[in-house]
Structure 1
Amino acid sequence: MITELRHFFERHGFYVCSRLADKLGMRATNVRLFFIYISFVTAGLGFGLYLTMAFVIRLKDLIRGKRSSVFDL
């Protein structure tokens, strides 16, 4: 059952890449590799943005001193 499901998705999923490659006049393997590389790049950009924002927030907390109570004004 699992192999039938896998073959179904491979047959229909790869058909999208094959048809797009035919329209663009490219090889289907190059289109598949492009989609794989783009997925890694977009995941990496999100993670890099997360780390940058965490660094900026941490830096802001270090620069701006926190007050322990209202009476420290």
Structure 2
Amino acid sequence: MKRLKEFIEWQAFGVCTAIGDRMGIATSRIRMWFIYISFLTLGSPVIIYMVLAFWMNMKRYIFAARRNPWWNL
């Protein structure tokens, strides 16, 4: 069950996990508040989540390109 949870966390962009790690807050608490706020605002935090996921993914590619200059050729 733990492997499934970890797989879903990192394959589902890992935005809440990254925020929790950076701010020192439990990931489960961030997810809970994200769900509550999504219900109250009719899903608008989903847009913010997608923007953050896109940003994290692009940041990962930029750092990978800096480490491996042969990848750019």
Q: Which has the higher contact order (CA 8 A, sep 6+)?
A: 2
TM value normalised by structure 1: 0.42
TM value normalised by structure 2: 0.42
Larger Rg belongs to? 1
